[in-house]
Amino acid sequence: MNAPITAEFETLDTLTPDFERRAESRDLIIGVIGLGYVGLPLAQAFCRQNTRVIGFDVSEFKVEKLNAGKSYIKHISDDSVGGMVETGRFEATTDFDRLAEPDALLIAVPTPLNAHRDPDLDYVIKSTEAIAKRLRRGQIVILESTTYPGTSDEVMKPILEKLSGLVAGRDFGIAYSPEREDPGNPQFETSTIPKVVGADTDAEKRMAVAVYKTIVPQVVPVRDLRTAEAVKLTENIYRAVNIGLVNELKMVYEAMGIDVWEVINAAATKPFGFHAFYPGPGLGGHCIPIDPFYLSWKAREYGLPTRYIELSGEINSKMPEYVINKLAEELSTRLEKAIKGSRILLVGLAYKKNVDDMRESPSLNLLEILEERGAKVDYYDPYIPVVPFDPDHPQYEGRTSTAWDSDSLSKYDAAIVATDHDRVDYAMVLKAVPFVIDTRNATAMLQGEYGDKIIKA
């Protein structure tokens, strides 16, 4: 009598109900690959819901720090990391052979542009290859990094199938769920932000929903992988294009002697159909200046232009030059000085208020242009006491933030407010220097007392 034919292997269709039950009972193990400003809050959110997390990172430094209960991310405290470790729910490792252990593998690694400003998926591909070598039946791989539509199915899926010999959708799952962190925004954190998830089969979508509904108030399933990838790009392109718009309006209204911030704040009183964006000295962070070009690169494959993306990129990257030209005008008319030989204070190096992150910060472009034109420049930033190594601006590593007192400030010919940190005493610099170029409307409350020293640019 032949043994009854049993299924050679289980498929996701049969495995998913158990996966959902285990998610519900906090019995899944979550793997997070990339323990940065997205991965670590993600790990924290799962730990808070009593789910076990194994964090994977190539950096020994980060892994040792985390396992010692220490944080390297400003808005995540040592106590919080310590709590994750003490409960035994979190451990970090550089041992990628352990990638077979988690039930779900969430990838949160950088997706920068390369020197030709094309998408650089190197981190994503390396992480996918590492997973593929250990991939086992029943696991689900979920990319969180911002990328172009097609990355999960055209790039990751073939690697996962080829190196594992397993079949996506049958033996293991692939999903995409974009991160939506807003660094420095105390109002929102991972556990309060709705999460979009996309996958190409029902079983994979159910698995991804089961993973995330344990940590967020609302999971938003969309049709497939590419739709979810497009959602995230749309969110960030919306920001980049609107910031480009208000930067263009600033230059026009400036020429007309109109204060663009007053215009936008008044327009924002319209209770519908208007979302306020504000001009700045350019566009910083490692998302908004970069992500839109992931779509324009992919759109070229379809022979389609993305003029709004290119134009807003052009306008935003020209803003530092615009600010410096305004400074040159004021130095000449007020002090009969040129930029060359002038002493300038740059207030704020971080790419946006109340964060300590300098990546792609327009302040660094301002610094570069000023020094190229012969100015002597110091900076002040309460969040960046010493400039860390920045691969794009290695020459600034080790420079220190200047003192913030009237004696120290009185030696400058002018100051530029490039980042509008809340905890800066703008009255002190307005009192001490001949004039201030304010690119963030940070001195708005001091207009009455120091209006003649404030130039908006």
Which residues are catalytic, by number? Answer: 287
147 vs 214 by CB, closer to ligand SAJ: 147
Instruction: Return the CA Rg of the chain.
Output: 25
CB of 201 vs ligand SAJ, minimal distance in Å: 27
16 vs 147 by CB, closer to ligand SAJ: 147
CB count in 10 Å sphere of residue 273:
6
Which structure tokens are listed for 224?
């497939």
CB count in 10 Å sphere of residue 193:
16
Give the list of residues 6+ apart from residue 58 with CB closer than 8 angstroms, or none.
94
Phi-psi map region of 414: left, alpha, beta (phi>0 left; psi -120 to 50 alpha):
beta
CB of 386 vs ligand SAJ, minimal distance in Å: 21
d(CA 190, CA 46): 10
- Contact by Cβ (8 Å): 443, 417: yes
CB of 434 vs ligand SAJ, minimal distance in Å: 26
Can you tell me which residue has the tokens 């959902």?
Answer: 20
Comparing C-alpha atoms, which of 151, 202, 192 is closest to residue 19?
A: 202
d(CA 65, CA 72): 8
What residue type is assigned to position 1 of the chain?
M
153 vs 179 by CB, closer to ligand SAJ: 179
155 vs 240 by CB, closer to ligand SAJ: 240
CB of 243 vs ligand SAJ, minimal distance in Å: 4
86 vs 392 by CB, closer to ligand SAJ: 392
The residues of the shown chain that bind ligand SAJ, judged by CB under 6 A, are: 146, 179-183, 236, 239, 243, 277-278, 280, 283-285, 287-288, 351-352
CB of 50 vs ligand SAJ, minimal distance in Å: 26
In angstroms, how far is CA 323 from the centroid of its own chain?
25
